[in-house]
């Protein structure tokens, strides 16, 4: 099946405060965000016309910009309104939503302190990172060579484009080896996350997940923890050593793109796709589609 390149699609993109034809949403090759990684973004989903945790994502967008030493020139309310405008004008109800902000072209050097800040929002159809069959069967993960950086060495709590360089490299290597994704360790060798999703493990009815103080604390991760607690499931956030993986029964990952996806294998370790993981997947599906749940 051929895939239409993202720069050749139809529709409109919200670009610096106004809607422009999709193919006209362009930047110059000499842009600070491209050369020096001074760029932030969000990954969101709309379900039945409602963007899940829309305002929370916009607030995190602002926080990421603050960490990256710039200010998004639009308020949280303006960003929320623009996201819904994009959905409407592109005729979409179920979609992936991508806000992005970056430093422009006034200066091309390490310092871009006085560069203008540009903002864009695009939406497109993307049912899920993994199809339902793969989610239920459980995906296979490799173990990445690269590690998540020390918070003293990188702005790990921003959703910043530069932090994903090692994620792309790790995912490419995993895919070439026949895996769906890769699990990354932190700078001390503890389990951290996947290349674009947080990770959870289950043992004897207790859910374990790495402390999110060394990588992005995903909004989906936060939602799933709350849903698990509402179920009465115990959730333990702690440092997890990779050698512990052989003791866990189940595993799943969470993220706006991945949603809740079960894991059957991480390197030499195997997991069952058990009932607890499936219940959590179902609870999350119900939470993001409240209209369907009410019906």
Give pLDDT tens digits for 218-261: 999 999 999 999 999 999 999 999 999 999 999 999 999 999 99
Residue 3 lies in a domain: no
Of the three residues 77, 100, 124, the one that is the final residue of a domain is 124
**CB-based contacts of 236: which residues, under 8 Å, 6+ apart?**
206, 207, 208, 209
Question: Is 6 within the bounds of a domain?
Answer: no
Residue 19, SS3? strand
Q: Domain count for the chain, please give it.
A: 2
- 99 and 159 in one domain? no
- Known catalytic residues? 159
Q: Does residue 272 sit in the same domain as residue 158? A: yes
- Confidence at residue 293, expressed as pLDDT on a 0 to 100 scale: 44
| Same domain flag for 71 and 137 | no
Name the residue range of residue 52's domain: 12-124
User: Of the residues 75, 105, 124, which one is the last residue of a structural domain?
Assistant: 124
pTM of the model: 0.95
pLDDT (tens digit per residue) in 173-220: 999 999 999 999 999 999 999 999 999 999 999 999 999 999 999 999
The reported pLDDT for the residue numbered 127 is 82
Three-state DSSP class for residue 191: strand
Same domain, yes or no, for 136 and 257?
yes
Tell me, yes or no, whether 238 and 152 share the same domain. Answer: yes
What are the structure tokens assigned to 76, written together? 């949280």
| Residues 68, 168 within the same domain | no
């Amino acid at each position: 099946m051929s895939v239409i390149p993202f720069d050749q699609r139809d529709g409109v993109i919200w670009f610096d405060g106004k809607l422009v034809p999709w193919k006209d949403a362009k930047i110059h090759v000499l842009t600070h965000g491209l050369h020096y990684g001074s760029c932030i973004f969000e990954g969101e989903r709309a379900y039945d016309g409602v963007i899940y945790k829309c305002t929370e994502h916009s607030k995190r967008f602002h926080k990421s910009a603050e960490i990256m030493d710039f200010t998004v020139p639009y308020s949280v309310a303006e960003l929320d309104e623009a996201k819904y405008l994009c959905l409407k004008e592109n005729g979409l109800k179920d979609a992936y939503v991508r806000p992005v902000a970056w430093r422009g072209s006034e200066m091309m050097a390490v310092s871009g302190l006085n560069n203008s800040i540009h903002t864009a929002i695009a939406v497109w159809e993307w049912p899920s990172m993994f199809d339902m069959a793969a989610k239920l069967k459980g995906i296979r993960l490799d173990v990445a060579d690269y590690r998540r950086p020390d918070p003293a060495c990188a702005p790990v709590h921003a959703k910043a484009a530069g932090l994903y360089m090692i994620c792309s490299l790790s995912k490419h290597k995993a895919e070439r080896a026949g895996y769906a994704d890769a699990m990354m360790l932190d700078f001390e060798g503890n389990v951290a996350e996947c290349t674009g999703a947080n990770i959870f493990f289950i043992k004897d009815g207790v859910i374990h997940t790495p402390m999110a103080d060394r990588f992005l604390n995903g909004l989906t991760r936060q939602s799933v923890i709350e849903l698990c607690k509402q179920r009465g499931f115990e959730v333990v956030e702690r440092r997890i050593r990779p050698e512990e993986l052989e003791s866990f029964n189940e595993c799943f990952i969470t993220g706006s793109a991945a949603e809740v996806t079960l894991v059957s294998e991480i390197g030499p370790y195997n997991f069952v796709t058990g009932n607890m993981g499936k219940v959590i997947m179902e609870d999350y599906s119900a939470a993001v589609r409240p209209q369907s749940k009410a019906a």
